């Protein structure tokens, strides 16, 4: 498999309608690691003004898949996601994903989701599987 570039990964992100809806941007993509950012938007909020937990979970899920894609290739899906919400987020998000172990069928990833102040809002682990098309 040829090594994927950040341009390849951004093409994959742009092909995801939900990612476009949320305004997600891939800002870092290298072997075993990726970073995804989401802008601060009022429509990402829940009734108390915090970033909705579903948006935070999306960020963890997608950044894990992109990190896994650096070692498995672009045809991956998240098979399991376990998330711990640490504190409410009130601003834009930065999600960091890192591969901690992998084989030829899948990858285990660790993620952190931070708000614009740098505070950790959530941590997650994910199992990402290669799919054959």
Give the domain CATH number at 72.
3.10.129.10
E-only strand ranges, the chain:
25-30, 33-38, 76-85, 93-102, 106-115, 120-130
For the chain, which residues score pLDDT lower than 50? none
Looking at the domain assignment, is residue 14 inside a domain?
yes
Confidence (pLDDT) at 92: 94
Looking at the domain assignment, is residue 1 inside a domain?
no
pTM above 0.85, yes or no: yes
Looking at the domain assignment, is residue 79 inside a domain?
yes
Percent of the chain with pLDDT over 70: 98
The position carrying tokens 């045809």 is: 75
Structural domain containing residue 85: 6-130
Phi, psi dihedrals of residue 69, rounded to the nearest 5°: -60, -25
Return the bridge partners of 74, or none.
Answer: none
> How many independent structural domains does the chain possess?
1
Looking at the domain assignment, is residue 115 inside a domain?
yes
């Amino acid at each position: 498999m040829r090594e994927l570039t950040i341009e390849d990964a951004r093409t994959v992100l742009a092909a995801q309608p939900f990612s476009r809806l949320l305004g997600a941007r891939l800002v870092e993509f290298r072997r075993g690691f990726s970073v995804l950012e989401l802008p601060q938007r009022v429509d990402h909020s829940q009734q108390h003004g915090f970033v909705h937990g579903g948006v935070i979970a999306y960020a963890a899920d997608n950044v894990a898949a992109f990190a896994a894609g650096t070692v498995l290739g672009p045809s991956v899906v998240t098979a399991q996601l376990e998330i711990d919400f640490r504190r409410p987020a009130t601003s834009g998000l930065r999600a960091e994903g890192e591969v901690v172990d992998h084989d030829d069928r899948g990858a285990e990833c660790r993620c952190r989701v931070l708000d614009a102040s740098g505070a950790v809002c959530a941590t997650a682990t994910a199992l990402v599987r290669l799919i054959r098309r």
